A and B are shown apart, each in its own frame.
Chain A
Amino acid sequence: MGHGGPESGGVATITIGAARKTVAIVGPPNAGKSTLFNALTGLRQKVANFPGVTVEHRSGVARLPNSREVDVIDLPGIYSLDPRSEDEQVTRDALRGEIAGLRKPDAILLILDSTNLGRHLMLAAPILATGIPTLVILNMGDDLRKRGGSIDTMQLATELGAPVALISAAGGEGLDAVRNYLAGQFAQPARIELPVLQDVPRCRQWSAKIGGQANYRPPAPPLWTHRLDSIFLHPVAGPFMFAMVVVLVFQAIFSAALPLMDTTESIINTSGAWLGRVLPESWWRDLLIEGVWSGVGSVVVFLPQILLLFLFIGVLEDSGYLARAAMIADRTMAKFGLQGKSFIPLLSAYACAVPAIMATRTIENKRDRIATILIAPFMTCSARLPVYTLIIAAFIPEKPLIGFVGNRAAALLLLYALGFLAALATARMLKSSILRTDRTPFLLEMPPYRWPTLRSLGLRLLDRAKAFLYRAGTIILAVAIGLWILAHLPLKDGKAPQIENSLAGTLGRTIEPVIEPLGFNWKIGIGLLTSLAAREVIVGTLGTIYGIEAEGEEGAHSASLQQAVRKDLSLAGAVALLIFFAFAMQCLSTLAVVRRETGGWKWPALQFAYMTVLAYVGAWVAYTLVSTV
């Protein structure tokens, strides 16, 4: 595969060994780009950012029939190549080879929805005009057939001057045709007459003409989607279903995840105890068991719960319900000066604020975008879940509240609602002062409902599990080890001091006067300090501290974290801690991403100050109220 770099000197493309060819997947939103990408690359993919811009892209390696390989890049979903949004700009630059570090693609996989070809075919015009070899992929072929539509792909290929494949990426149908194309020689598209690219009506006429010549028969309307929408978008039933979906997710996170979490916990405890028996007595054994095992282990326990949350978000997104939810929410969002498009980033902020803040790119209005970025960290991200779960499980007995909804799930739901309300109130404030704008138009396509595929859900979960364990293995591990060392210094006659007299204890006691009004003692104080790095670190920190403490007591090693927390916090203090975590901005990754996306320290600094003050005041009010009741 003797393939030279692009002619344009500049950035030298290093070709070590056999240079792999690069293909780019391009298509409108909802055409099934990700599904195709997942089907081609499987586990061999990674998410990365384009250098210099904020647009995320995924790249991976696809294995071909002749055991060769190609690099595949998944570009953002676009309707045209007109560089009006950042997504379109990036796609255009990538196709021209103008992005540093990214080779100009050798071929394009243009993926279009075959059930909506009239409109989607418009994108073929600017793509074919680039002159890059292109395979036109008509996706959702099974849907087209089932709903009585048809297309003559041979004729379409003749009309377009480029090969055409009718596939169903989700069902795995026709993928061989795509792989065979990638394995062969790429041919430049034949010259055909293309419309003036800037003119949408002309483009649409052109696509209608081409479709007509290829005997395109559009499918019948999606009956099931209409049926489902008559429930999910019903003026009364719709919002009710929306609320039901939310409640169901929370109940499941609590009750279904519990057995899994118990299993994980017992594996960690048993293995820790086993290590304690087999390893020779030494300081590093203590570090391993008290620092690493108790510290990191107490965070890893929450993996099942976090995966369950991502599973639900994945199902909602892949099935098409999320667009309906955005529509139902738009009216409420509008009252707070936001728009329905802010809803999707805000919803993904329930998983993590970092991708959510990146997802705000779809909001074209700059001020709306900044407002959404500023409020996103109020949404209850999955890093708060370990803290909430620990405190709720320690202080609230599990009892059915209404029907199948338990006490604990209700408490959790309340905390989620609290974060959401804080976000809305903040948005209202921002939008009526420093970020005032005219209302921006809200356009949202409602994709047909689809069954989420196991493959895409599985890959999503795997990706999240990796990210979570990576954090546990880096930030949390480092904090756990550092804390263990601080808790054992200064040495006195070669022996570690009592934890309250250690460096860590001193640090905690120094800030105790500040946090005492909130009902926290010095141990919680250490947790608050370490959780500035990331919220869930407090759980690991408490795990380490109690692990060390338990060592001093005779045979109390098995005392669970929950029981230990109950000794240290009053009910009022526990409520204050929950409120504090609901509002505080304890996440370095989020601050870093906000700085990058807003291009300076002004907004992240404001955000950090505002959220910390709110957290402190909120926790104080909560502590005072609960103490007096």
Chain B
Amino acid sequence: MQLSFKRDRRPRENKRNTLAGLSCGEQAVIERLDLPEDQARRLMELGFLPGHLVSAARCAPGGDPRVFRVDGSEVALRKETARHLIIRLDG
């Protein structure tokens, strides 16, 4: 169902500190959610809480949405949302 791969060609350094830049199998700590209150709450209820570990599972080349493993569950997010979750890699 992935018909094109041409979305989202942004400078790489921008993406490294967001969830969108997390490579497959990598793990990171969520720092903050750079989203409006409403959306942030939804994400937090699903487990995307500051200070929690998150890892990228199921990576398709150019795949979107992707499945993230967080707080005991797996949640699919689109890249456009993942880009607003700021992470720290040293976790």
Which residue of the partner chain B has the closest CB to A221? B69
Let me know if B39 is at the binding interface, CB within 8 A: yes
CB-CB under 8 A from A443, the residues of chain B are 42-43, 46, 75-77, 81
Contact with A along B70-91 (1 / 0, CB 8 A): 0111111110110000000000
Q: How far is the CA of A329 from the CA of B64 in the complex (A)?
A: 10
Mask: chain A, 71-88; 1 = CB below 8 Å from B; 0 = not = 000000001101010000
Chain A residue with minimal CB distance to B62? Answer: A235
CB of A557 closer than 8 Å to a CB of B: no
Task: Check if B41 sits within 8 Å of A200, measured CB to CB.
Answer: yes
A329 proximity list for chain B (CB < 8 A): 1
Q: Does B20 sit within 8 A of A, measured CB to CB?
A: no
Q: Is B61 an interface residue (CB 8 A)?
A: yes
A327 and B45 contact, Cβ closer than 8 Å, known pairs A118-B71, A233-B67: no
The answer for the CA separation of A239 and B63 in the assembled complex, in Å, is 12
Q: Which residues of A contact B64 (CB under 8 A)?
A: 330-331
- Complex Cα distance A230/B80, Å? 24
Instruction: Give the nearest-CB partner of B82 in chain A.
Output: A441
- Whose C-beta in chain B lies nearest to the C-beta of A326? B76
A235–B74 Cα gap in the complex (Å)?
17
* CA distance in complex: A328, B65 (Å): 8
CA distance A315 to B8 in the complex (A): 36
Bound form: Cα–Cα A80–B44 in Å:
11
> Is B47 engaged at the interface, CB distance under 8 Å to the other chain?
yes
Q: How far apart are B57's CB and chain A's nearest CB, in angstroms?
A: 8
B29-67: CB near A (< 8 Å → 1, else 0) gives 000000100110111111101110000011011011101
The answer to whether A172 has its CB under 8 Å from any CB of chain B is no
Query: In chain A between 252 and 266, which residues have their CB closer than 8 angstroms to a CB of chain B?
Result: none
Among the 9-residue stretches A61-69, A332-340, A501-509, the one with 4 or more Cβ atoms under 8 Å from chain B is: A332-340
* Closest beta carbon of chain A to B82's beta carbon, Å: 10
Name the residue on A nearest B81 (C-beta): A441
Q: Identify the 7 closest CB pairs spanning chains A and B, nearest first.
A: A235-B60, A200-B44, A79-B45, A446-B74, A444-B76, A116-B72, A441-B81
Q: What are 10 A-B interface contacts by the 8 Å CB criterion?
A: A84-B38, A233-B67, A235-B60, A235-B63, A330-B64, A330-B65, A331-B64, A441-B42, A443-B43, A446-B67
Task: Report which B residues bind A (CB closer than 8 A).
Answer: 1-3, 35, 38-39, 41-47, 49-51, 57-58, 60-61, 63-65, 67, 69, 71-78, 80-81
Chain A residues with CB under 8 Å of chain B are 79-80, 82, 84, 115-116, 118-119, 122, 200-201, 204, 218, 221, 226, 229-230, 233-235, 238-239, 242, 323, 327-332, 334-335, 340, 439, 441-446
